[in-house]
Chains A and B, each alone.
Chain A
């Protein structure tokens, strides 16, 4: 029988019974490479891990109130580990959003290298669990157990490299999966910022990973590993490198505001250039040494990065002015996320003022100012990611999130993130020259902010659950909310999907062009 012949009926039936059995949930979960499933896994797992980091911050706050009566000698290790684990978990959340939405914005049925993406997710998750275990054995970052500290260092390296692989998949998708007619100048803002953010993440973690290699090859003991982190990797948690995490937030904010107001971005190229300028100024591998912070170039980077943020805030204000904005939790979070980035810029400004010239001007605690920067950026990443998840909820979960739950969660996250970062900033300003002034007060405020943050993050998970339940019940909200191509896909999105409409791409807003050409839409 030739291979092109139809199989006999009996043989075909036998095949249906055995080899064609539909894969179950565990098989789909573990063996699948659907970018939408992996994206959802990234979002939920990242948020859960972030909650763990916030609980740790809560414990640190209580420890400060009780005069170090809770953690004892573990305080520094737990605090340092949480400050690394939290932001990395947030990177996973924002990458989950990008992994899910970027292929849809480009009308691509899949992401580039879906199996590599699956590998990156599972290896990141495994590394995160190993890191958490190493913290439990006094390792993590700054622990005193050499074996556990080596495990912590290695798992941290694996976490950032795994997310580097995710970034390769995202960036390659934007470069190679664009539809005909969509040059880089017509790429939607989310995808544009995803390309820049992923590229910067790849080069930044490439540099940080070198220190992990050096630490492992040297078979350093616990104290040497702590020093290796401070001298070799801690630069990722201060300006300018810390802003790499926030690049996708800019694209998310602009796309959400444009979509919510129904107004198009005027001078699209200028807006893209602003995001590009932010990305360039977030390249921080050159500023790894402590002495590089006390330079004119670092000051220019620290101050210059505020300009694109201000420019984009002005652009968003213009969109709100021209359009008809309906206030939603997503819109509020999008604007707040940019303001939180400005908060981080303020911390950088105070740092550079303090370091200007010889010696220090005010004697601020640079360690705490650095912590304030990463806390502000972390809060911006969480608010930006939640804004995206709420806004694109029909594509992600199958239905819109309930406004009440989303609004409460948004309020708590914005208040908790803003308060936590502000408390750390104020602590850095008050506790000059390594003093311990009002530590219990700051500890209490830290604990309060962490509680708000935690309730906000958990509230977001409840809101996602409600959206999924609404989707299962058939209560889907498929109303197009934007002019970019992701709204042409059915909800919820899944891989190998074909968009319901595939208009020619002649501008960054193909769906808007199509509706205005057919006369049933309005172009602002």
Chain B
């Protein structure tokens, strides 16, 4: 047999690199959401009674969505806890439940949009969709992030020694939940 080829190991990924990058991106996204909510509130204040005239935004769906996301934050933390203790079964289970709750949120959003029947031509109508739509896009991006990290976890890339991917997904997910809480109060509660 010929001489064995010496394989060099791949460079180890930097510890907490993904975590920091996610935190910085989350900060930018949070500022975008907060500014949109600020613009929405300023427009509502300026337009008064005519704001979203002809539409009726229900509260029930918003409340259930908030509850759904709070539960998903708990299950996401469960995933972080499980992977940092090498409990893979529970980590996969927690990630799966988080994804399910996230998809439920998306489903509820489409239902709410139909119920509210906000016309984009109404005063403030486009702002309503700008705020809730951006928040929905943020959540969908969070779901994609969790799916990607779940696949990487299934491939064995994360463990108690390197839990960064799951932790990073959790950081972004918590930012999503916090931003929905702001939208929930500003758009659905204070309407």
* Chain A residues engaging chain B, CB cutoff 8 angstroms: 4-6, 112-113, 164, 167-169, 171-172, 175-177, 198-199, 202-211, 213-214, 217-219, 232, 285, 288-289
How far is it, in angstroms, between the C-alpha of A199 and the C-alpha of B21 when the chains are bound? 11
A214 touching B16 by the CB < 8 A rule?
A: no
| A-B pairs under 8 A by CB, number | 99
Candidates B7, B15, B36, B129; contact of A210 at CB < 8 Å: B36
Contact mask B22-60 → A, CB, 8 Å, 1/0?
001101111111111011001000000000000000000
- B149 contacts which chain A residues (CB < 8 A)? none
CB of A455 to closest CB in B, whole Å: 37
CB of A448 to closest CB in B, whole Å: 40
A211 touching B5 by the CB < 8 A rule?
A: no
Of all chain A residues, which has the CB nearest B35?
A210
- A5 contacts which chain B residues (CB < 8 A)? 1-2, 4-5
User: Does B151 have its Cβ within 8 Å of any Cβ on chain A?
Assistant: no
How far is it, in angstroms, between the C-alpha of A199 and the C-alpha of B24 when the chains are bound? 7
CB of A266 to closest CB in B, whole Å: 31
With A172-B21, A210-B39, A289-B42 given, name 11 new contacts (CB 8 A).
A5-B4, A113-B21, A176-B15, A176-B17, A198-B24, A203-B31, A206-B35, A207-B34, A219-B126, A285-B31, A288-B35
User: Does B127 have its Cβ within 8 Å of any Cβ on chain A?
Assistant: yes
How far is it, in angstroms, between the C-alpha of A46 and the C-alpha of B29 when the chains are bound? 26
- B130 contacts which chain A residues (CB < 8 A)? 213-214, 217-218
A214 touching B20 by the CB < 8 A rule?
A: no
B21 touching A213 by the CB < 8 A rule?
A: no
How far is it, in angstroms, between the C-alpha of A213 and the C-alpha of B134 when the chains are bound? 9
Candidates B7, B27, B133; contact of A4 at CB < 8 Å: B7
User: Does B114 have its Cβ within 8 Å of any Cβ on chain A?
Assistant: no
* Chain B residues engaging chain A, CB cutoff 8 angstroms: 1-5, 7, 14-17, 20-21, 24-25, 27-36, 38-39, 42, 126-127, 129-130, 133-134
How far is it, in angstroms, between the C-alpha of A4 and the C-alpha of B3 when the chains are bound? 9
B24 touching A168 by the CB < 8 A rule?
A: yes
- B1 contacts which chain A residues (CB < 8 A)? 5
- B17 contacts which chain A residues (CB < 8 A)? 112-113, 172, 176-177
- B5 contacts which chain A residues (CB < 8 A)? 4-6
How far is it, in angstroms, between the C-alpha of A167 and the C-alpha of B24 when the chains are bound? 9
How far is it, in angstroms, between the C-alpha of A203 and the C-alpha of B29 when the chains are bound? 8
Given A4-B7, A177-B14, A217-B133, A172-B20 contact (CB < 8 Å): yes
Of all chain B residues, which has the CB nearest A219?
B126
Of all chain A residues, which has the CB nearest B11?
A109
CB of B49 to closest CB in A, whole Å: 21
B16 touching A175 by the CB < 8 A rule?
A: yes
- A176 contacts which chain B residues (CB < 8 A)? 14-17, 20
- A169 contacts which chain B residues (CB < 8 A)? 21
- B133 contacts which chain A residues (CB < 8 A)? 217
Given A112-B14, A176-B15, A218-B127, A207-B2 contact (CB < 8 Å): no
- B33 contacts which chain A residues (CB < 8 A)? 210
- A210 contacts which chain B residues (CB < 8 A)? 31-33, 35-36, 39, 134
Instruction: Pull 30 A–B residue pairs with CB atoms less than 8 Å apart, ordered by A.
Output: A5-B1, A6-B2, A112-B21, A167-B24, A168-B21, A169-B21, A172-B17, A172-B20, A172-B24, A176-B14, A199-B27, A202-B24, A202-B25, A202-B31, A203-B28, A206-B30, A209-B28, A209-B32, A210-B36, A211-B39, A213-B32, A213-B134, A214-B39, A214-B127, A217-B126, A217-B127, A218-B127, A285-B31, A288-B35, A288-B38
